[in-house]
Amino acid sequence: MGVVKDFNHSSLPIINNLIEDGQPVFGIFQQVQNINYLNYQSYLISQKRLPDWRKDLKVNQFCFIQIIEPPYRICLALATIKLATSAFVYLYNDTTQQLEVCEALQPLTHKARFLGDHYQGQMSFSHSKLSLTLDFDPMQVSVDLDSQHLKLAAELTRNVQPLSICTPTGRRGWTFTQKEPFTTIVGELLIKTSSKMTANHQDELVRFSETTIANLDWTLGYMRHETNWFWACINSYLAEGRHFALNLSMGVNETGASENACWLDGEIYHLPPVLFVRKDFDSSAQNSWHIYHQNLGWSNIDIDLRFTPITVYKKTDDFGVVASIFEQWIGEYSGEIRLQEQVIRLDKVLGLAEDHFAKW
């Protein structure tokens, strides 16, 4: 399948620093090399400049990584709102539809570190149930995870065409996110005897191969006090053998720019905004999410997808001042994405769909 492009990703700017003259640079970029968020000149209503410690306290940061080596799908995340820091990892078996979760929560940033950013930095978290270290450099992301039921070590080679975007959030805030599929995955997964997925309660070692695929979502920003979003994520091989990745969202980055894109064999195609309609709140319609692009005549792209949920990782926290209702579903996508005259057809392709409300 050849795709005709009328937009060249290389025409997007490369910027050294996200914050220039005290304010963020908004837009979509080839690359943002340094997220210098402490240089942001944020003001209170009194117009007094916020000190660095207040800016550091207010910023939210999270990272999500998915690694797929059939039949296993490993999803892990580390997030902080500074008042609390949490991490999770879950393992899903595509064949048996088994799901196993390990999660942990610490107050403030206790036993956690957040240094640098998505190109030069480290995020780490330590808990009796789950420890996780993520090291970032311009060429790769390294993952070292140990939990009750599995252990993971991986080196993930970065894509040269990531999705990098920064948009305003609320009256004073802004949000930066970078999404990318990785190109090469090296490492291994150890499923421990304590896992319900091991045969005969023996350790199972899964080595990653040239067909292993993975993707990254790294986000930092000053978001609204109450934030909600929908998110769709696919990372798979199409029927004709091409590697396909998809990122669609509704919420957060929605001011003048779209954080929607797909990749074919690592090449990015920017996509317009989409709408999510979730109908599975009604028990009689337990299998219907509709994700679509409303074409108003100025786009030569059409998106029309249906998502059928299979299982979910769900977590609800309510501490009054901060709260979260987080649902990340695993399910099947069917439908079409039209890029000019070319069509990407999906027929029961496994992927993720997220519905998240946060008060922070």
Q: Quote the pLDDT of residue 151.
A: 98
pLDDT of 21: 94
R_g of the chain computed on alpha carbons:
20
pLDDT in tens, 222-280: 988 888 899 999 999 999 999 999 999 998 766 678 899 999 999 999 999 999 999 76
* Cα 71 from Cα 97, distance rounded (Å): 9
Q: Which pLDDT score is estimated for 283?
A: 55
Chain segment 310-358, per-residue pLDDT in tens: 999 999 887 767 778 899 999 999 999 998 788 999 999 999 999 998 8
Q: Could you say which residues of the chain have pLDDT below 50?
A: 1-4, 284-285
At 186 the pLDDT is 98
Q: What is the pTM of this model?
A: 0.94
